[in-house]
Amino acid sequence: MGAYIVRRLWQMAPTMLGVVLLVFFLFHWVGGDPAYLLAGKMADADAIANIRRQLGVDQSYPVQLGMFLRQVVTFDFGNSWATGEAVASLITSRLGPSLTVLLPLTVLETLLGIALALAVARVRGSLTDRAVMLVCTIAMSVSILVYIMVFQYGLAYRLGLFPVQGWGDSLADNLLRYAALPVLIGLAVSVAPTLRLYRGFILEEVRHDYVRTARAKGLPERRVLSVHVLRNAAIPIVTHVMAGLPALLIGAFLLERFFGIPGIGREVILAVERSDFPVIKAVTVCVAGATMVSNLLADLLYQALDPRVRLP
């Protein structure tokens, strides 16, 4: 396994290089001259030239690319154009609030989706199964903005069960008080598509011969589903969960924006509004790296779940 991990890490290098090159050329060809954005409309030519010299954009493309590669390797992306704060410090400080909301949301969504999918699979083809799928289809058709407005107005503003907005310094206070309603909204939005997806995974396994053999041995349906079927359906479930992990770096930006959570998702939206390219480039590279690492972790989990899986 150690050799496989080293080989996969080595294979990530050209992929990451491709991402860096793509980000570099996109922002330099499409993003425009950052000196004009920072100088403002009333700046003269000398001020613009001075800004270009400070940012290093007056250098040739190979020199600028080398500077960007150095930033990626050292995780030093310079300072934010909007706030002057170091980009690396900005990302690390915003990561905590995003994870405080999205880690509990991911865990609860996965466990609730599995439990509901197993329950619906037991009554597959029945009126209950069709009714649940109909409710899921309707729930998936509703925009997340509707959920946010209804829950925030009803549960927070009218009933006072949760704070309308805010964030504190205590992890326990943030987790139990401020993050509770965003997590609840996230569950309301995500449980329907998760249930439909996991139900499909489970029903795909139900059709296999080993399930009929287990039933022929007299095992109860509950044990057949929760032990034999779930063990094999866990592989596509792990794929789905691990594919969504890099999104934790971006976060549910609408939830963060509406509830005043100082997370990375909200920071990215602010960076786009301000044309704060250093922040956008840094987050893009970090998400790409997190995606590759999560794919590696998924491969390792496959072998842990199913010993028949052999890593190449």
Which pLDDT tens digit goes with each residue over 155-188? 998 898 999 888 988 888 898 899 999 999 999 9
Lowest model confidence (mean pLDDT) among 49-53, 72-76, 281-285: 49-53
The label of the residue with tokens 């001075």 reads 50
The gap from C-alpha 151 to its chain's centroid, in whole angstroms, comes to 22
Same domain, 37 and 95: no
Number of structural domains, the chain?
2
pLDDT band of residue 298 (cuts 50, 70, 90) is confident
Same domain, 32 and 141: no
Same domain, 135 and 264: yes
Please provide residue 259's backbone torsions phi and psi, each rounded to the nearest 5 degrees: -105, 10
Residue 188: inside a domain: yes
Contacts of residue 258, defined as CB under 8 A and 6 or more positions apart, other chains included, come to 148, 152, 165
Query: Contacts from 8-16 at CB under 8 Å and sequence distance 24+?
Result: 8/296, 8/299, 9/296, 12/289, 12/292, 12/296, 15/288, 15/292, 16/72, 16/285, 16/288, 16/289, 16/292
Asked if residue 133 has pLDDT above 80, the reply is: yes
> How wide is the angle at C-alpha 95 spanned by C-alphas 139 and 293, nearest 5°?
85
Residue 221: inside a domain: yes
Same domain, 17 and 112: no
Give the predicted TM-score (pTM) of the model: 0.83
Tell me the CA end-to-end span of the chain in Å, nearest whole number: 9
Same domain, 69 and 119: no
Q: For residue 134, what pLDDT is reported? A: 93
CATH number for the domain harbouring residue 149: 1.10.3720.10
Range of the domain at 293: 87-305
Same domain, 91 and 63: no
| Among 23-37, 55-69, 96-110, 239-253, the range of highest mean pLDDT | 96-110
Asked if residue 45 has pLDDT above 80, the reply is: no
What single DSSP character describes residue 238? Answer: H
Measured distance CA(90)–CA(260) in Å, rounded: 16
> How wide is the angle at C-alpha 185 spanned by C-alphas 183 and 191, nearest 5°?
90
Same domain, 234 and 118: yes
Residue 80: inside a domain: no
Residue 300: inside a domain: yes
Same domain, 120 and 68: no
Same domain, 57 and 201: no
